[in-house]
Amino acid sequence: METRRDAHNRDIRYQSEAVAEILESNPVTETLLRDMRLLRLDHCYIGAGCVAQTIWNHASGMPLNYGITDIDLVYFDADLSPDKENSLIEDARRLFGHLPIRLDVKNQARVHLWYERHFGYPIRPYASLEDAINSWPTTATAIGVRRDEHGVWRVYAPYGLNDLFGLIVRPNKVQITQEIYEKKTSRWAALWPRLKILPWT
């Protein structure tokens, strides 16, 4: 499938259409976007690294799944029961366990319950799924995408898409620390040497 090669410094509609075309050309993300509805979630996205890294791979002429360790599927459910989240994780494994990349399913309404244990400092509860995406570590990876029940693409990118298509990695300091940022970007720099990684300060 022919896709748009350079969406940097283009208008947001063109960039959103480029995101859709590139993700549709990847059989893994296309399968998820087509079949996520089977999980019967009212509101969800795939997002973060798996989306950004697919775009980086496309821009770099690499295989589209190169360097991607997991795919984040995020949703928001006010029911904070771990059993309900675990049940959804099991459903996702049954549906998508054949895919070559691991699916990481998380209820963003529950993140504040375990974040301090994992990262060493507390965060406030998120008010919505979009509120969660607003806090993700970089402007390029703060992105969620889905297709609605009518097949219409929905792209949520609170900091726009120009950094993503410009291969610019800029810290989003809403929540993460410098240590977290530098650990992530050190790994990314080794895998995607064309990235322009901006310093924390």
Please write the tens of the pLDDT for every residue from 29-84. Answer: 999 999 999 999 989 999 999 999 999 999 999 999 999 999 999 999 999 999 99
- Of the candidates 158, 177, 168, which has an alpha carbon nearest to the alpha carbon of residue 197? 168
CATH annotation of 12-192 = 3.30.460.10
Phi, psi angles (nearest 5°) of residue 80: -90, 10
pLDDT of residue 1: 45
pLDDT of residue 93: 94
Q: What b/e readout covers 85-105, taking b as 16+ CB neighbours within 10 angstroms?
A: beebbeebeebbeeeeeebbb
d(CA 20, CA 43): 18
Tokens linked to 162: 């120009």
Global confidence as pTM: 0.93
Q: Are 197 and 188 in contact (CB under 8 A)?
A: yes
pLDDT of residue 148: 87
Could you state, in order of their start, the residue ranges of all structural domains in the chain? 12-192
pLDDT of residue 5: 63
pLDDT of residue 151: 87
Grouping H, G, I as helix, E, B as strand and the rest as coil, residue 191 is: helix
Tokens linked to 147: 């297709």
Pairing relationship of beta strands 144-147 and 153-156 according to DSSP bridges: antiparallel
d(CA 61, CA 118): 35
pLDDT of residue 162: 97
Positions of the chain with pLDDT lower than 50, given as ranges:
1
